């Protein structure tokens, strides 16, 4: 009995820190794309509504077979912009819209590698998301502006997101805001799953 207890204590002492449990509230999701995997850490502690919504789509396999379809590049700052993916507003693949969680409430601000929910009006976010590249503070909430709902960050695979950002886009668009941002060749999301 004492020998087994000693062995258990010894195992705890020699277990590397990297094998420790993940930070509370962070759930890792791997987006397996045709260009390689992108791993994101979803913050269920600070953005429970938005993170929970994203995980609901993951668990229901709603992102499987979908694409990254938009690359919005800064006109003045090379390498800065966002890459958008998800259900592409397809209602048949969507759950009900969620309540907006602004950055002023969550404390998760838009910066390099941050993942956030795409939306039209406030409270309309469903199954489309984007990943920021470079400083993106204009997407944060500010007085009189609700901003967007950030809910996590890229852990690995940011180089794939950067590759998507510079891929060719069509010159036109459905609106002035998205003019020239639709990818000519969409990048397929083969699967989206929680990491165990």
Reference 87, options 55, 125, 58, 128; nearest CA is 128
Total count of domains within the chain: 1
pLDDT tens for the chain, 196 residues long, are 444 433 433 333 333 333 334 567 899 999 999 999 999 999 999 999 999 999 999 999 999 999 999 999 998 998 999 999 999 988 889 999 999 999 999 999 999 999 999 999 999 999 999 999 999 999 999 999 999 999 999 999 999 999 999 999 998 766 667 788 999 999 999 999 999 7
Q: What are phi and psi of 12, to 5 degrees?
A: -65, -40
Cα–Cα distance for residue pair 170/53, rounded to 1 Å = 30
Q: Is residue 150 part of a domain?
A: yes
CA angle, 110 as apex, 178 and 188 as ends, to 5°?
55
Q: Is residue 98 part of a domain?
A: yes
Q: Is residue 8 part of a domain?
A: no
Structural domain for 131, as ranges: 22-194
CATH number, domain with residue 167: 2.40.100.10
CA angle, 93 as apex, 64 and 126 as ends, to 5°?
100
Q: Is residue 12 part of a domain?
A: no
């Amino acid at each position: 009995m004492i020998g087994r207890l000693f062995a258990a204590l010894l195992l705890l002492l020699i277990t590397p820190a990297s094998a420790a449990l993940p930070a509370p509230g962070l759930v890792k999701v791997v987006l397996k794309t045709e260009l390689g995997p992108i791993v994101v850490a979803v913050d269920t502690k600070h953005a429970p509504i938005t993170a929970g919504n994203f995980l609901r789509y993951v668990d229901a396999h709603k992102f499987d077979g979908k694409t990254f379809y938009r690359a919005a590049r800064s006109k003045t700052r090379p390498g800065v912009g966002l890459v958008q993916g998800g259900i592409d507003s397809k209602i048949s693949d969507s759950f009900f819209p969620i309540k907006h969680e602004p950055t002023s409430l969550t404390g998760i601000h838009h910066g390099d590698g941050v993942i956030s929910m795409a939306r039209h009006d406030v409270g309309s976010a469903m199954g489309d998301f984007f990943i920021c590249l470079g400083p993106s503070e204009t997407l944060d909430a500010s007085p009189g502006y609700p901003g967007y709902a950030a809910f996590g960050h890229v852990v690995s695979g940011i180089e794939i997101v950067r590759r998507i950002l510079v891929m060719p886009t069509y010159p036109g668009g459905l609106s002035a805001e998205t003019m020239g941002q639709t990818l000519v060749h969409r990048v397929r999301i083969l699967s989206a799953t929680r990491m165990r």
